[in-house]
Amino acid sequence: MKIKKNDRVVVLSGRDKGKQGRVIEVLKNKNRVIVEGVGIIKKATRPNRQAGVAGGIVEREASIDASNVMLIEPGTGKPTRVGYQTLADGTKARVSKKTGAVIE
């Protein structure tokens, strides 16, 4: 998967189209990502004394498919596709398809 945790991404489709956020979690086996402030759902939770949870309706981020987000290049701040390139020292690095810059 070309998207990693803490990457800044923009949503390409769905009700949150155009929103930007930071990736909180990557669910690799399901090919989904959880983005901060995107895909907010309301979830009913039960009270739990041991965990200290009061219960009620809680808003949280739902996962969205990884194909519906695009990485924002740190240098330019614009969305870009991601490729891979082997560097001179033999390590594999993510590279912006738009500018060719290495993405850290």
pLDDT, one tens digit per residue, over 17-34 is 999 999 999 999 999 999
In this prediction, residue 64 carries a pLDDT of 96
Tell me the two tokens of residue 23.
Answer: 């990736």
For 44-88, what is each residue's pLDDT tens digit? 999 988 988 888 999 999 999 999 999 999 889 999 999 999 999
Name the pairing type of β-strands 102-103 and 56-61: unpaired
The whole-number pLDDT of residue 63 equals 96
Residue 78, pLDDT score: 94
Q: What is the pTM of this model?
A: 0.85
Which domains can be identified in the chain, with CATH numbers?
1-72 (2.30.30.30), 75-104 (no CATH)
Closest CA to 64 of 15, 99, 6, 8: 15
How many Cβ atoms from other residues are within 10 Å of residue 81's Cβ? Answer: 12
